[in-house]
C-alpha cells in the first residue's frame, strides 16, 4: 500500500509509522517486569508455612528457613541396630525424628535429614547393625556440623535418640574447643520422663522394652510386632561380677546378649503417648532456650582467644 502512495502523502505515512512504533515500544516496556518487581514477586511467592525438613526446602525457602529459625537447626541422631525380636532396626532413628519434627513444627527449626552414624559396637554380633569406626563417627559428625554452620546453622542442636551415644556426644561437644568455630554445638539427651504418666509394669526397661515399644506405637505403629515380643528373653543375665565403678566395654553383652532389655509385650499406646508428648515438649523448651542464648558463642570466642595466649590469662 505504501509503495503506491502519492508523493504528497509520504510525510503523513512516516508520521503514522513513527506513532505506531512509539506505541509498540511503550507496550513492550510496560509488559516487561523490572528487576525490582521480579524480586518483589519472588519474595511474595515464598510460602507462609515452610517445611521443617531440610531436604524438602528449595534453595530460596532454605534461606528463608534459616532466617525464621534464627539460625537454629536440629540434628536428630539415631542408629541402626537390633531392637529385640519385635521392633525395627531403625527404632531410635524413627522415634527421634518423630519427636524432632513435631517439636520443630511448634517452634520453627530446620531438621537435618536422617543421621545414624553413631556408636553401636556392642551390637555388631546382631544382623542389620551398622557400626562405624570411632574415627569415622567423629570425623563425619564434625564435617556435618561444619557444613550445617556454613549454610547458616550457627546453633546446632544434636538431639540424641540412642543410648549408645550418651558418651560420644558430650565428648564431641567438648572437642569443639580444640579450634575456633563460628557456631555452637548443643547436645540434648533426654528421651524419657523420670516420673508421671501411666504406671509401668516392668522394672527392667533399657532397650526395646516397655517404654521404647510404647513410643513406637505412636511414631510408627505399623512396624511394631507385639506378638513377637516374648520370643526372646530381655532379662539381665548377670554374666559379669565387677564393682559398679569398674567399666568394661563388654558390660552390655554380658548382661543382655540378645540385645534386648525388658519386656516389650507390656507396652501400651497410653504410655507411649505420654512419653512422646513429654519428649516433644522437652525438645520445644530446649529449642527456645537455645534460640534465646546469646552468651555461648561470645564465651567460645573469648576462650579461643585466651587459649592462644595462656600465659596472659589473669585470675
What mean pLDDT comes out for the span 239-255? Answer: 96
Predicted local distance difference test score (pLDDT) of residue 18: 55
pLDDT above 70 (res 284): yes
The whole-model pTM stands at 0.85
Domains within the chain, CATH numbers bracketed: 47-292 (3.40.50.10310)
Taking a C-beta distance cutoff of 8 angstroms, is the pair 290, 207 a contact?
A: no
Which DSSP string do the residues of 193-232 spell out, in sequence order? -SS-SSPPS-S--SBSSHHHHHHHHHH-GGG--GGGTTSS
pLDDT score for 223: 98
Predicted pLDDT at 314: 86
The pLDDT, as a whole number, for residue 38 is 46
pLDDT at position 51: 98
Percent of the chain with pLDDT over 90: 84
State yes or no: pLDDT of 240 exceeds 50.
Answer: yes
How far from 167 is each of 80, 130, 205, CA to CA, in Å?
Answer: 18, 18, 20
Evaluated on CA atoms 222, 235, 166, 142, the torsion sign reads negative
Q: What pLDDT score does 17 carry?
A: 52
Amino acid at each position: 500500500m505504501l509503495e503506491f502512495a502519492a508523493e504528497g502523502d509520504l510525510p503523513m505515512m512516516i508520521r503514522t509509522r513513527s506513532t505506531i512504533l512509539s506505541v509498540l515500544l511503550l507496550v513492550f516496556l510496560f509488559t516487561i517486569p523490572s528487576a525490582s518487581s521480579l524480586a518483589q514477586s519472588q519474595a511474595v511467592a515464598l510460602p507462609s508455612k515452610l517445611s521443617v525438613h531440610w531436604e524438602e526446602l528449595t534453595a530460596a525457602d532454605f534461606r528463608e528457613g534459616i532466617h525464621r529459625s534464627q539460625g537454629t537447626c536440629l540434628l536428630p541422631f539415631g542408629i541402626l541396630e537390633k531392637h529385640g525380636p519385635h521392633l525395627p532396626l531403625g527404632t531410635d532413628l524413627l522415634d527421634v525424628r518423630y519427636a524432632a519434627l513435631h517439636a520443630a513444627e511448634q517452634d520453627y527449626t530446620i531438621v537435618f535429614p536422617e543421621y545414624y552414624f553413631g556408636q553401636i559396637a556392642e551390637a555388631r554380633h546382631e544382623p542389620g547393625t551398622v557400626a562405624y569406626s570411632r574415627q569415622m563417627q567423629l570425623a563425619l559428625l564434625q564435617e556435618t556440623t561444619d557444613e550445617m554452620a556454613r549454610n547458616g546453622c550457627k546453633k546446632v542442636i544434636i538431639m540424641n535418640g540412642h543410648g549408645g551415644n550418651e558418651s560420644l556426644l558430650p565428648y564431641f561437644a567438648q572437642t569443639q574447643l580444640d579450634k575456633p568455630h563460628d557456631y555452637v554445638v548443643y547436645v540434648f539427651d533426654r528421651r524419657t520422663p523420670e516420673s508421671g504418666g501411666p504406671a509401668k509394669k516392668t522394672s527392667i526397661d533399657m532397650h526395646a522394652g516397655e517404654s521404647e515399644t510404647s513410643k513406637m506405637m505412636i511414631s510408627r505403629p505399623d512396624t511394631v510386632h507385639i506378638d513377637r515380643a516374648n520370643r526372646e528373653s530381655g532379662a539381665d543375665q548377670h554374666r559379669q561380677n565387677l564393682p559398679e565403678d569398674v567399666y568394661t566395654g563388654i558390660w552390655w553383652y554380658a548382661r543382655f546378649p540378645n540385645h534386648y532389655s525388658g519386656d516389650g509385650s507390656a507396652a501400651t499406646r497410653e504410655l507411649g503417648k505420654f512419653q512422646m508428648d513429654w519428649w516433644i515438649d522437652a525438645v520445644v523448651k530446649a529449642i527456645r532456650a537455645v534460640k534465646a542464648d546469646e552468651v555461648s558463642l561470645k564465651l567460645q570466642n573469648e576462650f579461643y582467644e585466651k587459649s592462644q595466649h595462656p600465659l596472659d590469662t589473669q585470675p
